[in-house]
Amino acid sequence: MVNLICQEDCGNAPKRLLLKELITYFANGNISKIVERVADDVVWNWVGIGKIEGIRVYALALDETFKEFPPEELVIENILTHGSEAAANGLLTTKGGKSTAYCHVFSFANASASAKIKEITTYSIDIKTRVQDY
Per-residue pLDDT of the chain in tens (134 residues, 90 and over written 9): 788 888 766 556 888 889 999 999 988 989 999 999 999 999 999 999 999 999 999 999 999 988 888 889 999 999 999 999 999 999 999 988 899 999 999 999 998 888 999 999 999 999 976 555 54
| Per-domain boundaries in the chain | 16-126
Domain 16-126 bears CATH identifier 2.60.40.420: no
pTM of the model: 0.87
First to last CA, the chain: 31
| Long-range contacts at 109-113 (CB < 8 A, ≥ 24 apart) | 109/39, 109/84, 110/84, 111/83, 111/84, 113/14, 113/15, 113/18
CA-based R_g, the chain, Å: 15
